[in-house]
Structures are given as C-alpha cells and as structure tokens.
Amino acid sequence: MRPKAKTVLGSIAIGLGCILTQTQVFADTPANQFWNGEKQYQVHCSSCHGNWGQGIGIFGPPLKGDPFVVNAGAKVVAQTIIDGRQGPYKHFKAYSGMPEFNFLAEGEVEAIVDYLKNGLQTAAPNTYPMHSPS
C-alpha cells in the first residue's frame, strides 16, 4: 500500500473511532445536559410567563411559586409543555391558554422542566420590570 493511502485510511479509522466514542458518551448522558434550561425558558416561555416567572397580564400565569410547577412530577410538567393547555384544559381560565410546544426536542423540554422546578424557583426577583415606563 502506498504511504498516502495508509495516511488516508489511518485518518478515517481515527475519525470513526472518535465518532463511536462520542456516541457512547452521548448515549450515557441525560438529554437535558446538552441544553441550557434557562436559555430555552427565555426563548420559548418568557414572552408569556415573564423573564422571572412572574407572569405577564392575560398571556401567562406566574410560574415562580406555582403549586403545579413545584409539586407535579417532571413528566406531568413536560407533557403540559408539549401539549399546551387550551379550552377546557386550561387551568387558569382568565389567561389566554398555552400553545403546544410539541416541536421542541426531548432534551429541550427536560432542560426547561429542570429550570422551572429548580432554577426559576430560587432565582432572584426581577428588579427591572419588562414593561417599565419610558
């Protein structure tokens, strides 16, 4: 075999080895470790529930201190995020309802739930209201 061919084949073998090793590491790691729950909350949830979980008008109830968020199991909270709450399934009738977030990856939902149940509940209160007068 020519030296150049050996180098190419060696590079391919090393590359495949790295891929297989990474795949094993990823398979043994919880999905939510690849997502930042706080960032995902800010992207997908804060426009209705507020940056600090304080709720915003008729759009979304407060989540910080909410008995459902605090006491319900992680799977129940995750399913609520995925399915949303509309019509007769709304918990708070005064709010406009929660849309489905069934397009989120499983790890994203897990990370958001972890943030809702842990990070958000202990976060400092918002000292800069989102809608302050100019």
41-50 pLDDT per residue, tens: 999 999 999 9
Mean pLDDT of 109-131: 76
70-107 pLDDT per residue, tens: 999 999 999 999 999 887 767 777 777 889 999 999 89
Q: Which two tokens stand for residue 71?
A: 């006491």
- Token pair 């600090």 in the structure block, residue: 52
The pTM for the full model equals: 0.67
Confidence band, pLDDT 50/70/90 cuts, at residue 4: low
Instruction: Give yes or no for residue 16 having a pLDDT over 50.
Output: no
pLDDT at 2: 58
User: How is the chain split into domains, by residue range?
Assistant: 1-31, 35-122
pLDDT at 103: 94
pLDDT at 15: 46
CATH number at 35-122? 1.10.760.10
Would you list the DSSP string of the chain?
Answer: --HHHHHHHHHHHHHHHHHHHHHHHHHTS-GGGGS-HHHHHHHHTHHHH-TTS--BTTTB---TT-HHHHHS-HHHHHHHHHH-B-GGG-SSTTS--B---TTS-HHHHHHHHHIIIIIHHHSPPPSS-TT---
pLDDT > 90: what percent of the chain? Answer: 43
